[in-house]
Amino acid sequence: MYNLYMSLVTHLKNIGLGDKAAKVYLAMLELGPASVLEIAAKASVNRPTTYLQIEELKKKGLVSTQKKGKKDLYIAESPDQLEKVLEQESKDLEIKMNELKKALPELASVFNLAGDKPVVRYFEGKEGLLRMQEEFLKCKSKQILAIANFDNVMDLFPNQKSDYTERRVKAGIESKAIYTSKRGNIVEYGPSVLRELRYIPFDKFSFDADITIYDNIVAIASLRGQIGGLLVEHQGIAESFKSLFNFIWKLSEKT
């Protein structure tokens, strides 16, 4: 019997009732019309808390009251009412979602205009860097600038070409990259992969970080040791990094 009781409590909690509310509602189902004191004793919940739970259940339409002399008795509504409660909550959620969709553009504009301070997001581990790559594919300008150690990229992401590169090309996003590698000048480039490259030998450019610049965002990633990265969203910082990239680009050899 106890196992059945706990199973019912779990079911009620899964559909949205709190632990004490579930116990109070079950006690009322068993008791029929009862006082707060009787319900509290049956549910093993203290009296003040039981009263609060009854009031919450009344708001959901799961409890009704009746007078017996001067005493208030409380009665659980049929369990069928639970389905109506969920249907109403679903309608309420849909209304809230529609309101959020209407407000999102204005909320986003307020967020973007909230001062000139950089917005920084941190991404931890390899999975974090994969999420950061997904952000690159949202590039509005359709051009990504990158400075990278190709060895680190291929060690961490051996399927880079079939995964990220193919989706970048499909999205019509061009890439200009300055890279170094102990393996030499080996990265595929050209119109088919929408990529233009500059190679710098590793002995001249022992670069370990990975920097990606697009729109008004700079992404800096560590692909060795403590793996992770951050996105810095700020127009001034992005423009400065673009200038740095273009300076190195002009100094480096065309592949």
The rounded mean pLDDT for the chain is 86
Topology of domain 119-254, CATH: Endonuclease; Chain A (3.30.870)
Higher pLDDT among residues 111 and 179, named by residue: 179
CA–centroid distance for 167 within its chain:
21
Q: What CATH class has 2-79?
A: mainly alpha
Please tell me the predicted confidence (pLDDT) of residue 111: 62
Please tell me the predicted confidence (pLDDT) of residue 9: 83
List the domain boundaries for the chain: 2-79, 119-254
Higher pLDDT among residues 218 and 152, named by residue: 218
Strand 63-68 and strand 195-199: the pairing is unpaired
